[in-house]
């Protein structure tokens, strides 16, 4: 098996005594679209800057195709970056911006011309070649920045929050475009974002980071459906997190878990033993509600009072205040018949079978 | 709101009047005088002639012009060479240091520049501090003549005008986006390529502004040549002063002034071109 294209091993970096990356281990494979996802300050941009060569690590090794690249300055790394602010050269035309890397590599001018026009075709902006960046819209600048990086055919393309400066509609369109483009050119993309939806929709794998440590890495579906801990669950997608304690293990891989003063048998990782504190993740779209009378116990379910109903177009969101005071968010597809539930009504809340994930309560949040 | 709008309108109305009264009219007067003839008793007589302009092409005056240009150009280059790295460092050091250094740049303005020029004169004099130092160090055996030379004039010009180069350059460097330098490095540019293709073009407006602010006064600072220069270091500024105050040849002085003004406008054109070239789009803020 060939070595991974990019490998971080025990890479650490600190600024002013603050340890941003305590020791990062990460492998990125050829042709993969990997996203580093996390809140600001989680070290994701630092990891990218270390790989680009703008910063040098305090410890550990960064390898590209098996070779350590720690001492190489950015200009000697076959890696290009699409910056958050695009960082297009304002004094150069679009054409000059895109050809900059090729000119620095002293390629023959005929080849430069050809590759620049190919790159402009690829981002579908050939008519803008002679404009200056100041005359372009945000979306156009974004695509020119992409072309300026891709034209060099880097081994790895780094995208640092590259879509976050765009408005909503344009960002959606660019997400699709970027994914299609990545498949088309077959390059390895490492994308950094704090937007979980962006991460899930574009990536082959997502690494969720917190305080410089990868919490979980895997395909978007795994991250969403089986989050490794409460932090990941909370960060990726809307979630209801309920604290609980394991009271008894059952034989079928499930365990009795005490939540909100009731016992629920839920499938729980085998590493969790009785007495351990856990967090139970309930996605809003997995919750089901039924009106119950004031004295009805609502067997095997949680009970509470509807606080608010919000029409969200595709879905109808409901806030339920449980008897303990905890507020749950439920989300149903809107089909016009659900008008029966109104604020103030008492409901029992259940869930689709096997939907709750039981997570160790290690990460404080 | 209404009042301020009214004042704005009035201001807009007054601006042309102001320009007319204090810029255009004097300029036209200079132009008119430059086309007239000198008079021994009343300064000018209404006798139209191009003689004054023809006299500018006299080899003696041509030499004054070319010497002045060369001296001002040299002073400008020296200022640029000194100020460029300084302004860069200024934009990179921490805020506390920046305040200190900027203050040091500005402090000399608190003293009249004529007094500072006399201070330089005393430093360079035959028995001045510089000679004493060189003697004490044993580098020379007898005092050397530092004063009344082109070098002394150059030194004086650089000393007086250096801040005018530093400040616009500093402002350019401060606006320089660090990420553009990273982007250039990311696109395989080494140090020299980054300097040539990114830093210099993007600080071009500062370079142009600084050169303008140094070159033009360098042509006109007659007291620097008067105090530090010898009789052979006649420069345009001193020439103009002499024509008006000593020789009392107003028409010729006017003709020479107009040529200087035309040169000034040409340089302003270069400055605007440099700004547009740098693509800052800030063509309108001078």
C-beta contacts of B188-193 below 8 A and 24+ residues apart: B188/A75, B188/A76, B188/A101, B188/A104, B188/A105, B188/A152, B189/A75, B189/A100, B189/A104, B190/A75, B190/A104, B193/A104
Angle (CA) A54-A60-A62 rounded to 5° is: 55
Residue A185 has pLDDT above 50, yes or no: yes
Task: Give the Cα separation of B55 and B52 in Å (integer).
Answer: 5
Q: Where in chain A is the domain with CATH 2.40.50.140?
A: 240-360
Q: What integer is the mean pLDDT of A241-270?
A: 86
Question: A7 by DSSP, 3-state: which?
Answer: strand
Q: What integer is the mean pLDDT of A174-179?
A: 86
Of the candidates B183, B201, B204, the beta carbon closest to that of A83 is on: B183
Which residues, 6+ apart, have CB-to-CB distance to A325 below 8 Å?
none
CA–CA distances in Å: residue B234 to residues A158, B178, B240: 61, 45, 10
Question: B21 by DSSP, 3-state: which?
Answer: helix
Which secondary-structure segment (H or E) carries A210?
Answer: strand A205-210
Task: Give the Cα separation of A170 and A362 in Å (integer).
Answer: 39
Across-strand partners of A34? A190, A205
Q: What is the pLDDT at residue A49? A: 95
Taking contacts as CB-CB distances below 8 angstroms, the residues of chain B near A53 are 185-186
User: Is B182 in contact with A89 (Cβ distance < 8 A)?
Assistant: no
**Percentage of residues in chain A with pLDDT exceeding 70?**
96
Of the candidates A75, A83, A100, the beta carbon closest to that of B190 is on: A75
User: Is B179 in contact with A87 (Cβ distance < 8 A)?
Assistant: yes
**Percentage of residues in chain A with pLDDT exceeding 90?**
47
Taking contacts as CB-CB distances below 8 angstroms, the residues of chain A near B206 are none
For A91-112, how does the pLDDT look when each residue is reduced to its tens digit (9 = 90+)? 999 999 999 999 999 999 999 9
Mutate to test the interface with B, among A48, A69, A91 (most CBs of B within 10 A): A91
Higher pLDDT, A158 or A335: A158
Helix axes A138-150, A94-104, angle to 10 degrees: 20
Chain A residues whose C-beta is within 8 A of a chain B C-beta are 52-54, 73-76, 79-81, 83, 85, 87-92, 100-101, 104-105, 132-134, 148-149, 152
Task: Give the Cα separation of B277 and B286 in Å (integer).
Answer: 15
State the smallest CA–CA distance between residue B199 and chain A in angstroms.
10
ipTM: 0.81
Q: How confident is the model at residue B286 (pLDDT cuts 50, 70, 90)?
A: very low
| Under 8 Å between Cβ of A12 and A60 | yes
Of the candidates B187, B279, B280, the beta carbon closest to that of A80 is on: B187
Q: Where in chain A is the domain with CATH 3.40.50.300?
A: 6-235
User: Is A105 in contact with B198 (Cβ distance < 8 A)?
Assistant: no
Query: Helices then strands (H, E): number in chain B?
Result: 14, 2
Which is nearest to A260 in space by CA: A188, A163, A327? A327
Taking contacts as CB-CB distances below 8 angstroms, the residues of chain A near B183 are 81, 83, 87-89
Q: Flag the least confident range among B20-34, B38-52, B105-119, B213-227.
A: B38-52
DSSP single-letter state for residue A340 = G
Question: Mean of the per-residue pLDDT values for chain B?
Answer: 86
State the smallest CA–CA distance between residue A205 and chain B in angstroms.
25
Chain A CB within 8 Å of residue B127 CB: no
| Under 8 Å between Cβ of A322 and A191 | no
Task: Give the Cα separation of B74 and B87 in Å (integer).
Answer: 19
Q: Which fold has domain A240-360?
A: OB fold (Dihydrolipoamide Acetyltransferase, E2P) (2.40.50)
User: Is A52 in contact with B277 (Cβ distance < 8 A)?
Assistant: no
User: Is A83 in contact with B278 (Cβ distance < 8 A)?
Assistant: no
Which secondary-structure segment (H or E) carries B145?
Answer: none
Q: Say if strands A302-311 and A346-351 run parallel, antiparallel, or are unpaired.
A: antiparallel
Residue B285 has pLDDT above 70, yes or no: no
Overall CATH class of domain A6-235: alpha beta
User: Is B189 in contact with A90 (Cβ distance < 8 A)?
Assistant: no
Strand arrangement, sheet containing A327-333: A287-291, A346-351, A302-311, A315-322, A327-333
Q: How confident is the model at residue A285 (pLDDT cuts 50, 70, 90)?
A: confident
Q: How confident is the model at residue B1 (pLDDT cuts 50, 70, 90)?
A: low
Backbone angles phi, psi at A153, to 5 degrees: 50, 60
Taking contacts as CB-CB distances below 8 angstroms, the residues of chain A near B187 are 75, 80, 100-101, 104, 148, 152
Task: Give the Cα separation of A353 and A43 in Å (integer).
Answer: 37
Taking contacts as CB-CB distances below 8 angstroms, the residues of chain B near A133 are 279
User: Is A92 in contact with B189 (Cβ distance < 8 A)?
Assistant: no
Among chain A residues, the shortest Cα distance to B183 is held by A87
Which residues, 6+ apart, have CB-to-CB distance to B203 below 8 Å?
B84, B169, B172, B173, B176
Q: Flag the least confident range among A262-276, A291-305, A313-327.
A: A291-305
Among chain A residues, the shortest Cα distance to B203 is held by A91
Q: What is the pLDDT at residue B279? A: 57
For A108-120, how does the pLDDT look when each residue is reduced to its tens digit (9 = 90+)? 999 999 999 999 9
Higher pLDDT, B263 or B87: B87
For A41-55, how does the pLDDT look when each residue is reduced to its tens digit (9 = 90+)? 899 999 999 999 999
Q: Flag the least confident range among A7-16, A124-133, B227-236, B243-252.
A: B227-236
Chain A CB within 8 Å of residue B281 CB: yes
For A195-208, how does the pLDDT look when each residue is reduced to its tens digit (9 = 90+)? 998 999 999 999 99
State the smallest CA–CA distance between residue B284 and chain A in angstroms.
16
Given the structure tokens 């530092």, which residue do they identify? B146
Taking contacts as CB-CB distances below 8 angstroms, the residues of chain B near A104 are 187-190, 193
Residue A300 has pLDDT above 80, yes or no: no
Q: What is the pLDDT at residue B193? A: 95
State the smallest CA–CA distance between residue A206 and chain B in angstroms.
25
Q: What integer is the mean pLDDT of A247-251?
A: 87
For A327-364, how does the pLDDT look when each residue is reduced to its tens digit (9 = 90+)? 889 888 876 665 677 888 888 888 888 778 888 876 55
Higher pLDDT, B80 or A314: B80
Taking contacts as CB-CB distances below 8 angstroms, the residues of chain B near A52 are 182, 186
Q: How confident is the model at residue A298 (pLDDT cuts 50, 70, 90)?
A: low
User: Is B179 in contact with A105 (Cβ distance < 8 A)?
Assistant: no
Among chain B residues, the shortest Cα distance to A101 is held by B187
**Percentage of residues in chain B with pLDDT exceeding 70?**
95
Residue B281 has pLDDT above 50, yes or no: no
Residue A345 CB-half CA count within 13 A: 15
- How many inter-chain contacts (A to B, CB under 8 Å) are there? 72
User: Is A104 in contact with B183 (Cβ distance < 8 A)?
Assistant: no
Q: What's the pTM?
A: 0.79
Of the candidates A74, A85, A90, the beta carbon closest to that of B186 is on: A74
Of the candidates B179, B188, B277, the beta carbon closest to that of A83 is on: B179
User: Is A104 in contact with B187 (Cβ distance < 8 A)?
Assistant: yes
Q: What is the pLDDT at residue B237? A: 84
Return the structure tokens found at B39. Answer: 């008079």
For A56-84, how does the pLDDT look when each residue is reduced to its tens digit (9 = 90+)? 999 999 999 999 999 999 999 999 999 98
């Amino acid at each position: 098996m060939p070595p991974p294209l990019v490998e971080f091993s025990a890479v650490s970096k600190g600024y002013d005594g603050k340890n941003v990356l305590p020791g990062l281990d990460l492998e990125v494979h050829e042709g993969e679209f990997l996203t580093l996802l996390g809140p600001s300050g989680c070290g994701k941009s630092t990891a990218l800057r270390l790989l680009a060569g703008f910063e040098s690590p305090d410890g550990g090794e960064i390898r590209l195709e098996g070779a350590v690249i720690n001492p190489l300055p950015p200009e000697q790394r076959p890696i290009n970056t699409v910056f958050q602010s695009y960082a297009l050269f304002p004094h150069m035309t679009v054409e000059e911006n895109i050809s900059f890397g090729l000119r620095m590599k002293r390629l023959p001018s005929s080849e430069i011309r050809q590759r620049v026009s190919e790159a402009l075709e690829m981002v579908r902006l050939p008519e803008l070649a002679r404009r200056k960046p100041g005359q372009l819209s945000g979306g156009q600048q974004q695509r020119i920045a992409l072309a300026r990086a891709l034209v060099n055919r880097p081994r790895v393309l780094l995208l640092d929050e590259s879509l976050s400066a765009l408005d909503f509609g344009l960002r959606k369109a660019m997400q699709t475009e970027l994914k299609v483009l990545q498949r088309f050119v077959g390059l390895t993309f490492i994308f950094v974002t704090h937007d979980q939806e962006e991460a899930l929709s574009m990536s082959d794998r997502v690494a969720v980071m917190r305080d410089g440590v990868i919490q979980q890495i895997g395909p978007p579906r795994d991250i969403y459906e089986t989050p490794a801990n409460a932090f990941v669950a909370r960060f990726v997608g809307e979630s209801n997190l309920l604290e609980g304690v394991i009271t008894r293990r059952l034989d079928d891989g499930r365990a009795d878990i005490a939540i909100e003063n009731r016992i629920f048998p839920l499938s729980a990782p085998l590493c969790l033993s009785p007495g351990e504190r856990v967090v139970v993740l309930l996605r809003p779209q997995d919750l089901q509600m039924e009106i119950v009378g004031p004295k009805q116990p609502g067997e095997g379910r949680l009970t509470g009072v509807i606080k608010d109903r919000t029409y969200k177009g595709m879905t109808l969101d409901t806030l339920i205040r449980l008897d303990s005071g905890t507020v749950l968010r439920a989300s149903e597809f809107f089909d016009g018949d659900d008008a029966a539930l109104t604020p103030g009504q008492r409901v029992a809340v259940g869930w689709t079978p096997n939907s709750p994930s039981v997570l160790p309560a290690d990460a404080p949040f | 709101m209404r009042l301020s709008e009214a004042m704005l309108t009035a201001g807009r109305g007054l601006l042309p009047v102001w320009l007319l009264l204090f810029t255009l009219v004097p300029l036209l007067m200079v132009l008119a005088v430059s086309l007239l003839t000198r008079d021994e008793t009343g300064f000018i007589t209404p006798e139209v002639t191009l003689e004054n302009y023809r006299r500018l092409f006299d080899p003696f005056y041509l030499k004054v012009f070319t010497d002045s240009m060369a001296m001002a150009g040299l002073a400008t280059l020296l200022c640029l060479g000194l100020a460029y790295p300084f302004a860069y460092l200024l934009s990179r050091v921490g805020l506390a240091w920046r305040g200190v250094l900027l203050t040091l740049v500005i402090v000399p303005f608190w003293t009249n520049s004529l007094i500072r020029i006399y201070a330089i004169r005393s430093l360079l004099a035959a028995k001045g501090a510089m000679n004493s130092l060189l003697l004490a160090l044993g580098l020379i055996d007898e005092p050397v003549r530092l004063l009344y030379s082109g070098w002394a004039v150059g030194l004086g010009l650089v000393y007086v005008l250096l801040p005018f180069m530093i400040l616009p350059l500093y402002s350019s460097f401060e606006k320089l986006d660090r990420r553009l330098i990273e982007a250039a490095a990311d696109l395989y540019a080494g140090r020299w390529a980054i300097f040539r293709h990114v830093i210099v073009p993007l600080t071009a407006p500062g370079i142009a502004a600084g050169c303008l602010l140094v070159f033009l006064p360098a042509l006109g600072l007659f007291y620097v040549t008067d105090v530090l220069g010898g009789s052979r270091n006649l420069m345009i500024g001193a020439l103009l002063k002499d024509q008006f105050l000593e020789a009392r040849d107003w028409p010729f002085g006017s003709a020479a002034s107009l040529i200087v003004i035309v040169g000034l406008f040409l340089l302003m054109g270069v400055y605007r071109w440099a700004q547009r070239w740098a693509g800052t789009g800030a063509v309108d803020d001078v």
